[in-house]
Amino acid sequence: MRQNSLSQLWRGERATGLGKGGQCATLSETQEFFMLPAFEAWDFTVEPITARSRLYSLAPIGIGTAFVESLSGYVERLAEAHAVSAGSLIGKELSNFVRPGRINLGLVSYAINGVGGSAKRWVQALETITSRSDLRHLTLLPFERLLPQPFLFRYVRAWCPACYELMASRSEPIYEPLLWCLKLVEVCPRHRRFLANTCPHCLQSLRPLSAAARPGYCSRCGLWLGDNTSRTAHASSDAVPTEYPLWLADAIGELLASAPRIQPERLRDCARGALLAYANAFAEGNRTAVADMAGCRRGIFYSWFKGDQVPRIDTLLRTWYQLKLPVACLLDGDYPGVPPEAQAKKSLEIRNAREVAPKRSREQIRGALEEALHEEPAPSLTEIARRLGYGTSTRLREADASLCRQIAFKYRKSGRSHWWRRRGAKPICERPRIKKVLEEYLASDSPIPPLDRIAASLGYAVDRSLWQKCPELCRALSAKIEGQKRARVAAIEPALEQALQESPPPSLRQVAKRLGFSAACVLKAHAPDLYERLKTHWQAYARTRRTELQNKLKAVLEENPPPSLRSVYSRLGVTESIVNTSSQNLRREIGLRHLQYQRQQVQERRDSVRAEIREIVGMLHAQGICPSVPRVTSLLKSGSLREWTVIGKAVNDARRELTTD
């Protein structure tokens, strides 16, 4: 059947003029063939396009929100997209770009999300290899000027199981937010519970970026880390986070969300500007008061202002929390105005906490007086004095007598003065109450405030009415106050002498605090020699302590085996910053010795495992069994090194030796 159809075809084609028969049929056609046009040619050149990126150009998630992705999470997600493990991607692909030589994953950890040189190198490498330009928002590099390098990141991986479940349920790609990498953040701002840091299945803690890491899965057992409601709740999830961690998580989230918008050069100035504005608004420029209020050491505060030190992120945020400042002004710098009542209330709070009248210049007082002159309804001088923190108006008169006279005149004219002479004026305070209060003070042992303060607390302008109403009580009280003052002053010398005997000697500020004074200059005023003696004594003590520490550190240099820096610190009971400021070279030497010792240990272990492998290979060969790598590994002793690159190479070397022997 097929043959017939084929021959039919041949016949058909022959009939159209292919072959001897039928030529005449196509003669007319042949003539017109010479007039047929030729066809155009095709051009295959392709317009050149820029080279394609080596790895997929994955879009990072969440830029501009609090839950922005971290760079380490991005690398993990990139590895997942390429169907390779994170270790392969980093070791084979990224190592050429980031730095020459191999990358040790153990040292990489979360630092690539930070502000240092390694973060910059990784960002540059990844941006080159994926042809993207927005990857620096996945790190803290925008905050480089504001945050110092240490203390930023955790050493173990932390996550929120509920967030993973949320991502999975919404079929969104699963990723690791930058928020979870920071040491400061302990709660999830979305779900208001503590972050987990042990796998619920294998109960182990995980390294931040390991070779088998995958977003959302444990890197040791490979199981899902999301919230499995069938499991019993973890112990940590029963604990309810307090206010400060929640505020902290929210604040950091806000900072991260505004990262694309900030101008990095202005960051430190913004923080400084905000604090200055706060001090001006609430404490009339008194930065010490603000420092005390924030619970921050004064020296640190001053160095922030001067710009010497970069504030540590945890102290900075704690200050912000205590001062109840909005986080946004950390970045913008302009402190939003508060309503005047709140302002006044807050200033009063700060002022009362200080227990010392603020120091004002004559111009400041004059300015306040001029303002008050135009005020309605006209205030009295005592009111103005109280507002400025003084007990009476003496200082105001000192500053500018004529203005005071004008204010008093205005007050009298307004008709508000001498109100007690008017008909139907009620007494400010009833006599029995005055008596009660005064007796209470008399009976108590705590320091008694001056009489006009007591009068002010009862509502009077001056203490004249008190004297008029209960003269004996007032006399006794003022005698008691005098006695208390004398006692305090008298207590200075014995306290200083006792401090001289103490060992270790207390600092001058501590002695002042013990006695109830707010500054050490009071001591200097009343007992200058003792003051000087205590000062020199204390300085000598500090010097001996420092030399002791140095001697101890020098002794550590002789120790064998060389201990690590951290163990030395905990043994001596000091912190790293103390050692760093006093004896930097010793610290470096100790660290170096320890590092060399560790390297030596590793080398010894490698050598011992190599010797062991050589033995085993020889034994297997003698028995006639092929010494393959898994067989040799199974015969190794339990404590030996398991680095499989070393093992593989050692087995190959041993086998080569055998064949050459």
Partner 1 sequence: MASPPGFPRSLLSEPWSARLAYFQRYTVAHPRLIEVKEKLVAAIQNSEPNSLVFVFGPTGVGKTTLRLKAEQILTAELHVELEQDRGRLAVVSVEAVAPESSRFSWRDHFKRLLLEMDEPLIEYKRDLQAGFVGIRAPARPKPTTGEYRYGVEQALRFRRPAAVMIDEAQHLAKIASGRRLLDQLDVIKSLANRTQAVHVLFGTYDLLAFRNLNGQLSRRSLDVHFPRYRAECAADRRDFISVLRSFAQQLPLSDPPDLANDWEFLYERSIGCVGVLKQWLVRALSAALRGGDAALSRRRLESQALSVAQIDKILSEASEGEMRLMDSNDAASRVRTTRLGAAYPQAAARR
Q: For residues 330 and 320, is the Cβ–Cβ distance under 8 A?
A: yes
CB atoms inside a 10 Å sphere around CB 497: 13
Place of tokens 């006599």: 431
Nearer to partner 1, 358 or 648 (CB): 648
Phi-psi region of 289 (alpha: psi -120 to 50; beta: other; left: phi over 0): alpha
> Whole-number minimum distance, CB 136 to partner 1, in Å?
18
Phi, psi (rounded to 5 degrees) for 207: -80, 155
Indicate the residue among 211 and 491 with the shorter CB distance to partner 1.
Answer: 211
Least CB distance from residue 127 to partner 1, whole Å?
Answer: 11
Phi, psi of 630 (to 5 degrees): -65, -35
**Residue 508 CB, nearest approach to partner 1 (Å):** 58
- 3-state secondary structure string across 612-649: HHHHHHHHHHHHCCCCCHHHHHHHCCCCCCCCHHHHHH
Closer Cβ to partner 1, 125 or 140, answer by number: 125
Choice between 80 and 165, CB closer to partner 1: 80
Shortest Cβ 55–partner 1 spacing (Å):
7
Least distance in Å: CB of 642 to partner 1?
Answer: 8
Q: Quick check: 277 and 334 in contact, CB under 8 A?
A: yes
Q: Which is nearer to partner 1, 207 or 351 (CB)?
A: 207
DSSP per-residue string spanning 561-623: SPPPHHHHHHHHT--HHHHHHH-HHHHHHHHHHHHHHHHHHHHHHHHHHHHHHHHHHHHHHHH
Q: What are phi and psi of 187, to 5 degrees?
A: -125, 160
Output the smallest distance, CB 37 to partner 1, in A. Answer: 5
- Which CB, 87 or 591, lies closer to partner 1? 87
Joined tokens for residue 467:
């004297």
Three-state secondary structure call for residue 217: strand
For residues 315 and 304, what is the distance between their CA atoms, to the nearest angstrom? 11
* 174 within 8 A of 216, measured Cβ to Cβ: yes
Residue among 212 and 277 whose Cβ is closer to partner 1: 212
Residue 80 identity: E
Closest to partner 1 by CB, 229 or 628: 628
How many Å separate Cα 441 from the centre of its chain?
48
Whether residue 377 is preceded by a cis peptide bond, meaning omega within 30 degrees of 0, is: yes
**Min dist. Cβ of residue 126 to partner 1 (A):** 13
Copy the structure tokens of residue 223. Answer: 């199981």
- Residue positions counted in the chain: 661
How far is it, in rounded angstroms, from Cα 225 to Cα 234? 13
Smallest distance, partner 1 to C-beta of residue 60, A: 13
Residue 216 beta carbon to partner 1: minimum distance, rounded to whole angstroms: 11
H or E element in which residue 188 lies: strand 187-188
Residue type, position 360, single letter: R
With respect to partner 1, which residue has the nearer C-beta, 93 or 612?
93
What angle in degrees, to the nearest 10, is found between the helix axes of 471-501 and 508-515? 150
Please report, to the nearest 10 degrees, the dihedral formed by the alpha carbons of residues 597, 601, 607, 611 taken in order. 140
Q: Which is nearer to partner 1, 79 or 523 (CB)?
A: 79
CB of 31 to partner 1, least distance (A): 11
Asked if 620 and 627 touch (Cβ cutoff 8 Å), the reply is yes
* Least CB distance to partner 1 at residue 57 (A): 3
Q: Minimum distance between the CB of residue 3 and partner 1, rounded to whole angstroms?
A: 10
10 Å CB burial of residue 596 (0-12, 13-18, 19+) is exposed
Closer to partner 1 by CB, 5 or 232: give it: 5
Q: Whole-number minimum distance, CB 81 to partner 1, in Å?
A: 6
136 contacts 156 by C-beta, under 8 angstroms: no
Q: Tell me the closest approach of the beta carbon of residue 265 to partner 1, in angstroms.
A: 30
Q: How far is the CB of 13 from partner 1 (least distance, A)?
A: 5
Please give the Cα distance from 36 to 51 (Å, whole number).
44
- Please write down the long-range contacts of 468-473, taking CB distance under 8 Å and 24 or more positions apart: 469/431, 469/434, 469/435, 470/431, 470/434, 470/435, 470/438, 473/435, 473/438, 473/439, 473/442
Measure the N-to-C terminal CA separation of the chain; round to a whole number of Å. 74
Looking at beta carbons only, is 36 or 443 nearer to partner 1? 36
Query: Is 177 or 216 the residue whose CB approaches partner 1 more closely?
Result: 216
Q: Confirm if 118 and 112 have CB atoms less than 8 A apart.
A: yes
Q: Which residues bind partner 1 (CB under 8 A)?
A: 2, 5-6, 9, 12-13, 15-19, 29, 33-34, 36-42, 44-47, 49-58, 80-85, 87-89, 92-93, 130-131, 210-212, 214, 217, 219-223, 629-630, 633, 642, 644, 647-648
- Cα angle: 407, vertex 409, 410; to 5 degrees: 65
Residue whose CB is less far from partner 1, 76 or 292: 76
Q: CB 152 → partner 1: shortest distance, Å?
A: 26
Comparing CB distances to partner 1, the nearer of 89 and 188 is 89
Least distance to partner 1, CB of residue 53, Å: 5
**Closest CB to partner 1 among 9 and 342?**
9
Compare residues 131 and 564 and give the one whose CB is closer to partner 1: 131
* Adjacent-strand bridge partners of 570: none
**DSSP characters over 163-198:** HHHHHHHTTPPP--BGGGGBSS--EETTTTEEPB-B
